[in-house]
Structure formats: structure tokens, C-alpha cells
Amino acid sequence: MVVTDLHGDWDVYRRYRDRFLDLEAHGQADTLVFTGDLIHSEGPPEEDRSLSIVLDVIDLRASLGDRIIYLLGNHELPHLYGVTLQKGPHLYTPSFEAAMGEHRADIIAFFDDLAFYVRTRAGVSLCHAGAFAGVGEPGVAARLFDCSHRRIWEEVSAMLPADQRASLRAGFAKLSGESYADMARRYLAVSGPDDPRYDDLLIGSIVSSVPPDFELLWAALFSRDERDCSAGDYALRLDALLRELSAGFHRQRVLVAGHLACSGGYTLVGNGRQLRLASGSHARPPESGRYLLFDVEKPVWQAGELLGGLGSVFE
């Protein structure tokens, strides 16, 4: 069972979770895959239940193990790097940083371990966004598949010697027109200079501009995919990604992803080889949101073959 982008909506999350548990109890589903972006509501702060959702998924994994899969989305990624995520005037990351509180270490460790892709014997792969520009270039997919968030963070941290950090913080504050301590508190919920995470804002500002692997992560998770290029070009990107995902495994022929808005809860793209699925806030209208149920033992050749497995929790 596949569910995409719920963005802090507890009621919708609960509906999908309970549907899966009912299907699982009746032997009709055994694995639930969330394709990322379970956090960050665009609604009123008091309605954002991102923390409750993530903690509930962690509890589900504790009881059901690998039958609960959570893929990394572009909204989870910034919390691994101290990067502020913003769209227009709306700031996403600060409220979740503050909400994590005592749970932060466990949640960040959980996010750090999230996969980018799931491959199945049916030839259907799952991910958050889709096929990004450059995925077919030599070595690019391998770098992404082997990417280590911790390695990137440690490499950048090592670039900032302890005896230079005070001056770097001062320069950062001067450019921003605000004290570093105030920014660290507001954006990352850092308590003050004695907090071991005090320099995370500084490190995060450099992470996003230096390592090529972070740029690759950004491309893979933030890409607008078929909306950023022609249909023909996107089909080529999709073919390249599926070819890379096939290496050493069953041939992957179809991709399922969320990330972008869909009228009616889904659309087919990439010459019929990708199902773009919207389960929550990206469905237009919201009550058209769908989940996907498919059998990993049954080969799938085109995305249209999956349409019979679309279901709704709003009926």
C-alpha cells in the first residue's frame, strides 16, 4: 500500500494508517510505504500535527518492522542539514524544529536512515519526486544511492575550524542583519551558545552551497520533474532512472511518486511509465486523494495497469 505527501494532516494520516491496518488484518496488505513529506503543514500552526505523525510512524515501525517504509522527501531533508525551507513568506522548518523537543535525536536518527527508493519484483519502483535532470549521466545514480548524510555533514563541519567559528558567525550575522544567537534560536530551536547544536545553522548554510552530493540530493528530491521539461525529455530521464534502479535486480519498468499536485488524485506521465499519486494535500480537490495497492509478485509493464489498485479513504 503506497501513500504520498500528507504534510502534517493527522486526520488524513489516521485514515490511511487505519485502512492499512484493516487490510493487513484481513491478509490484503502486508507493507505500507510512505513516499515522504509527511511533515510541514501549510495551514494554521495549531493544526499542524507533523510531530504526532512522525512519532506514530516510528511506533508502527517498532511493532511491524520493515513492513512500514518511510522514504525521504524534500521536506524531511532540510532537518538533516540545518537548512531553512521556505516558499514565499511561508517558513516550514522552524516550527517542526521547535516541536521536536526531547524527541529530536530519535527523529533525526530516523530521518537519517530513510531510503530514497524502493524496488519491487513487480518492476515497480517507488520514490518521493521522480526522474531528475542528469540522472542518466555516468556515476550520478550510484552517487545518490550511496549518499551518506552524516559524511556530508562531517565534511563541511571539518571545513570550519573551532577557532574560526566565532568570526564566521559574526560574518553570517552581519550579512543577515540579525544576531546569530537569535537566528539559531528561531530557525533551529537552539537554546544558546552552550547548546551543542549552536553552530548547526552556520554549517547548514555552507552545506547547501559546497558539496556536490548535497546538490544531487536537492535535485532528486526537489525536482518538478515532468513540469520542468518537455514530455520527450522527461521520458528519457525516466528511462534512465528505471535502468539504474534495475541494476542487479529485477527489471524496473514503472515508477510511482508523489510530490506534485494532481487533479483527481493521480495522473500518468512519462509515456505511461509513471504514476503520479496524490494522497493528501496535493490532491485536487483534497477529497480525491488516493492510495495505491498492488501485488509485488505480479509483473507490471505500464503504469496504467496500476489504476485498478487505486483506493480512497474519503468514501
**Domain of 15: which CATH number?**
3.60.21.10
For residue 190, being part of any structural domain is answered with no
For residue 58, being part of any structural domain is answered with yes
For residue 200, being part of any structural domain is answered with no
- H-helix segments, 135-284: 140-145, 149-158, 165-176, 180-188, 200-207, 212-222, 231-246
For residue 108, being part of any structural domain is answered with yes
The whole domain housing 126 covers 2-137+226-311
Among 310, 220, 231, which Cα is nearest to 273's? 231
Total number of domains in the chain = 1
Q: Would you write out the chain's pLDDT as a tens digit for each of its 315 residues?
A: 999 999 999 999 999 999 999 999 999 999 999 999 999 998 888 999 999 999 999 999 999 999 999 999 999 999 999 999 999 989 999 999 999 999 999 999 999 999 999 999 999 999 999 999 999 999 999 999 999 999 999 999 999 999 999 999 999 999 999 999 999 999 999 999 999 999 999 999 999 888 899 999 999 999 999 999 999 999 999 999 999 999 999 999 999 999 999 999 999 999 999 999 999 999 999 999 999 999 999 999 999 999 999 999 998
How far CA 54 is from CA of 27, 61, 68, 240, 313, in Å, comes to 25, 11, 12, 32, 20
Q: For residue 85, give the C-alpha cell.
A: 525551507
| pLDDT score, position 211 | 87
For residue 295, being part of any structural domain is answered with yes
Which residue is associated with the grid cell 552581519?
A: 174
| pLDDT score, position 315 | 84
For residue 302, being part of any structural domain is answered with yes
For residue 186, being part of any structural domain is answered with no
Total residues belonging to the chain: 315
| pLDDT score, position 208 | 84
| pLDDT score, position 135 | 97
For residue 287, being part of any structural domain is answered with yes
| pLDDT score, position 310 | 98
